[in-house]
Structure 1
Amino acid sequence: MTDNPRVPLVLISGLAPGPNADLAERLRLAEAGTAVVHHDLRQIHSGVVRRRIRLGDRDQLTVLELAHGCVSCTLREDLLPLLRKLSRMPQVRRIVVRLDEAMEPEPVSWALHNVLVGERPVIEDVDLRAVLTVVDCAGWLADSTGDDTLAERDLLASPEDERTVAQVALSQVEFADLLVLAGAATDAWSAAKASAVLDRVAPSIPRVELSSVDGKTVLDAVPADARRGEVTDMHGPLLRGQPPLHTDCGIGLLTFTSQRPFHPERLHDAIDVLLDGVVRTRGRLWVASQPDMALWIESAGGGLGVGHAGPWLAAPDGPDWAAVSPERRTLASLRWDPLFGDRAQELVVVTDQATPDEIEAALNGALLTEEELAAGEQEWLRYPDPFGEWHEEPCEDTETDPEKHDVNASNRKDETQ
């Protein structure tokens, strides 16, 4: 750590470029010495990124040509070194990074903490004060519940980007410290339904109206216990805060738990239930054919991914208890099984048109039967396993993309494509 004080940093994310720029400008004008950085990725498929820096009277636009057009390259080759450079300029008192619409703030935060620039991560130069996510009220509900891909909306963050708009929309609000609502919904029903979704996917995150945002005081609305860039612990709580348990505007919440493993092929067949009439799925899986490795599942819209979340505490190569978070130790202690340890299923599903009973029945049907359970792990290892290190739906018989492979939970946070 350097002796110089770290420069405050604010990240702005959201799918609507106009309101995002409006919020960034309010912050810039509110405090002298605020530098606003924005990377436009709309031509990244050609290896071109347009970077704009605004600081005082300076308004500089630079065209960057990258050897491989992707968000990872933009972060490593330009944004992270730029943040260090700006933090050392005496005239810079604060940095605001307005992320491209296709970027999720969590991988950026991971890079700040873990990617070395020289011999040190950039988080030693900047102090991440808040992640602000702008919610465009006119279109966010359709974005978060639809099946459009980023490619269909011309929002690719790399030529290989296969994410859905819903995946990005929900990831942006879930990682926020403050939601900034822009504009108005098209009708009262859409407004109420969007609010019901936000209540369940981001229950602890306060909301303010962009029209009333004061750039000098907006960060005062960020709660004292906000995550401020803390990367998701895949073995921690699945929801921050206390979401409503009742159904509202057709939006419900299902928590699925079991201390019995999934049969890999039946789970693969059952996954479709999480792609139709479901807003969001997040959680940990215990698959019989991979008894020592926890799997992490996320779905939104028509997109779903399953990746490694690191070994269970009970696994032979599992982490030491002292090395994991207090929350993980507490959860493991409460559910510890004499034979299987902390292995368990735990999913949170935010439903829309699908009924919780339908989802629960499909997932229960994918669990091992009593006979299969009694056969033991050596028999489980013989099951055909459609889940590799990274599995995506829709499932295609193509070679696995090596950049989607998860070696462990932390590596996944470095995926910015």
Structure 2
Amino acid sequence: MPPRPRVPLVLCSGIARTEALAALLLRASPGTAVVHHDLRDIGSGVVRRRILLRGRDELTPLELAHGCVNCTLREDLLPLLRRLARMPQVDRIVVRLDEAMEPEPVSWAIRNVLVGDRPVSDDVELEAVFTVLDCATWLADVTGDDLLAERGLHGSPEDERTVAQVALSQVESADVLVLAGAAPDAWCAAKSSAVLDRVAPSVPRVELARTDAAGLFAAIPADARRGEVTDLHGALLRGAPPLHPDCGIELLRFTAQRPFHPERLHEAIDLLLDGVVRTRGRAWVASQPDVAFWIESAGGGLGIGHAGPWLASPDGPDWADVSPERRTLASLRWDPVHGDRAQELVIVTDQAAPAEIESALRAALLTDAELAEGEAAWRGYPDPFGDWHEDPCEETEEPDRHANAANQKDETL
């Protein structure tokens, strides 16, 4: 008897209104199972799991040894997906993610974390990632600086992510954006569209009130990511985002082929926290020349960490072991001395002036005299980043809004 084909799996994410999308998908087929883990009491080590299948509504409180998203994935969601996939009455699984969960770490876990001796991707096939946007609040979410914890949405007691960081990550991971509700006015609608055009330009958008399940699946593009994990050394611009200003929203692509001075970068980086919707990209810091820094910002939250070694680093990966996209990008900018080391940041601004940000970043690069000193001298520069860096450097009464790791899929898992 041939093995059963893998069961299609759909991830539904969003800061709000994901229940309506999950209900739409549930109604479309009697063989659909909907799974939801409510993390609101995770700080007490309790997660409430709900499973909807063929008219049954099963709510189970789970007590976890450690209250975190990681435990929820490893101890319950992944084994549950395997069990559901092997039930003959299940022909599709819909995972309605908690508001604090980003799709990319979940898809990574499905493909890489072993349950027994095999990953769950042997039993399920990630069909699509749908992200719901509440049109009434999404723009305020991604341009504000609220912490998840301030809204009771944090995924663990130590979760210091901003709402903007999570909401934008959910959008960037989506295969289809599902618009729910209505913007409060025409200006908000136009500005929201301008932001989406720049952070997710190639992702189709459908209105929840005007579609059905068939329409959602028909909207999935042929080149959909389907949970593909971001290559931190890959292209930063997916699709073709507009380069002209729209409703005050602009896109700045900063590139350079000389390193940043660590102290001057430390000073300049504060500009990414005021009037900036999103920052993503790689940085080459003179004091740590063998590793690429990954920088992300959103809503007053900043993540600075390591994206792994450059190809030209002594312990860098072999060309054959990296993606074709990374090999192509490295070949295009290869320097005979410094190899693929380079700066590349994509910054979406709202109230900030792109020219001021670019000027500050240019001023943070090494001067010709510093460049001539060479790598041995650079490694001795005072480095405020250290191995890991937290900002602000001085204690204040305000909560620290800066994340301490750059690669959020590693941070979550």
Range class of TM-score, shorter chain: over 0.9
Q: Distance in 2 between matches of 1:280 and 1:291?
A: 25
Conservation of the 8 A alpha-carbon contact between 2:136 and 2:181: yes
What's the counterpart of residue 85 of structure 1? Answer: 83
Q: Distance in 2 between matches of 1:220 and 1:285?
A: 38
Q: Distance in 2 between matches of 1:226 and 1:317?
A: 33
Q: Distance in 2 between matches of 1:32 and 1:388?
A: 54
What letter is aligned with 1:320? Answer: D
Q: Deviations over 1:53-84 (max 9, x none)?
A: 00002110000111110000000000001000
Determine whether 1:15 maps to 2:15.
yes
Q: Deviations over 1:183-225 (max 9, x none)?
A: 0011110110000000000000000000012123311100010
Q: Distance in 2 between matches of 1:35 and 1:262?
A: 50
- The one of 292, 310, 313 equivalent to 1:312 is 310
The 1:203/1:405 distance shift into structure 2, 3 A limit, reads closer
What's the counterpart of residue 275 of structure 1? Answer: 273
Conservation of the 8 A alpha-carbon contact between 1:303 and 1:394: no
What letter is aligned with 1:6? Answer: R
Conservation of the 8 A alpha-carbon contact between 1:31 and 1:216: no
What letter is aligned with 1:355? Answer: A
Q: Distance in 1 between matches of 2:263 and 2:180?
A: 44
Q: Distance in 1 between matches of 2:159 and 2:391?
A: 14
What's the counterpart of residue 145 of structure 2? Answer: 147
Q: Deviations over 1:122-166 (max 9, x none)?
A: 111100000000000000000001010011111110000000000
What's the counterpart of residue 110 of structure 1? Answer: 108
Q: Deviations over 1:334-391 (max 9, x none)?
A: 1111110110000000001111110001101111111111111111111121224443
Q: Distance in 2 between matches of 1:385 and 1:110?
A: 32
Query: 1:255 deviation in Å?
Result: 0.3
What's the counterpart of residue 409 of structure 2? Answer: 413
* Structure 2 unaligned regions, length at least 5: 397-402
The alignment partner of 2:125 has SS state of strand
Query: 1:3 deviation in Å?
Result: 3.6
Identity of aligned residues (%): 76
The 1:153/1:396 distance shift into structure 2, 3 A limit, reads farther
* Structure 1 unaligned regions, length at least 5: none
The 1:48/1:233 distance shift into structure 2, 3 A limit, reads same
Q: Distance in 2 between matches of 1:278 and 1:326?
A: 31
Q: Distance in 2 between matches of 1:85 and 1:52?
A: 15
What's the counterpart of residue 123 of structure 1? Answer: 121
Conservation of the 8 A alpha-carbon contact between 1:305 and 1:390: no
Aligned length: 407
RMSD over aligned CA atoms reads: 1.7
Q: Distance in 2 between matches of 1:262 and 1:217?
A: 48
Q: Deviations over 1:221-246 (max 9, x none)?
A: 00010100100000101021000000
Q: Distance in 1 between matches of 2:380 and 2:289?
A: 12
Q: TM-score, normalised by structure 2?
A: 0.96
What's the counterpart of residue 298 of structure 1? Answer: 296
What letter is aligned with 2:354? Answer: P
What's the counterpart of residue 57 of structure 1? Answer: 55
Q: Distance in 1 between matches of 2:234 and 2:62?
A: 39
The alignment partner of 2:166 has SS state of helix
The 1:112/1:285 distance shift into structure 2, 3 A limit, reads same
Conservation of the 8 A alpha-carbon contact between 2:260 and 2:366: yes
What's the counterpart of residue 101 of structure 1? Answer: 99
Q: Distance in 2 between matches of 1:107 and 1:27?
A: 23
Conservation of the 8 A alpha-carbon contact between 2:282 and 2:293: yes
Q: Distance in 1 between matches of 2:205 and 2:350?
A: 22
Q: Distance in 2 between matches of 1:390 and 1:79?
A: 31
The alignment partner of 1:415 has SS state of helix
What's the counterpart of residue 347 of structure 2? Answer: 349
Query: 1:329 deviation in Å?
Result: 1.1
Conservation of the 8 A alpha-carbon contact between 1:146 and 1:166: yes
Q: TM-score, normalised by structure 1?
A: 0.95
Determine whether 1:4 maps to 2:1.
no
Q: Distance in 1 between matches of 2:222 and 2:394?
A: 45
Query: 1:116 deviation in Å?
Result: 0.9
Q: Write out aligned runs for 1:225-304 (5 A).
A: 225-304=223-302
Q: Distance in 2 between matches of 1:392 and 1:53?
A: 40
The alignment partner of 2:410 has SS state of coil
Q: Deviations over 1:66-111 (max 9, x none)?
A: 1110000000000001000100111110000000011111111111
Moved more, 207-216 or 273-282: 207-216
What's the counterpart of residue 220 of structure 1? Answer: 218
Q: Distance in 2 between matches of 1:267 and 1:292?
A: 17
